[in-house]
Amino acid sequence: MLGLGNENSGWGLGGNKVEVQVRKLYCVSKAAVLPINIEDAARSDVEIEKALQAGETLVRVNQDTHLNNRVLDLRTPANQGIFRIQSQVGNVMHDH
């Protein structure tokens, strides 16, 4: 069941519930290797510096790589948190 809207207004527009059933799914283009790893993209500069001091090597994802692969970058916990906060602020503004 795909819920559209927030929990206060019901699902869908006008409080209607919407159900989506997928009958076929096609892969148009499959990437052999993803350009960035979500775990690497989520890592902060502080974590990378601590690892370097401990003698470990971690992958650093540069800003241009984040922006060129925005669809993947949006899946990092930090970006997901930003969307959750933005959603809650919108809900509070809507309710008041």
Q: What is the pLDDT of residues 2-61, one digit of tens each?
A: 444 455 555 555 667 788 899 999 999 887 888 889 999 999 999 999 999 999 999 999
What ranges in the chain are assigned the alpha helix state H? 38-42, 45-53, 63-68, 70-73, 77-95
Q: What is the pLDDT of residues 6-17, one digit of tens each?
A: 555 555 556 677
Entry pTM: 0.56
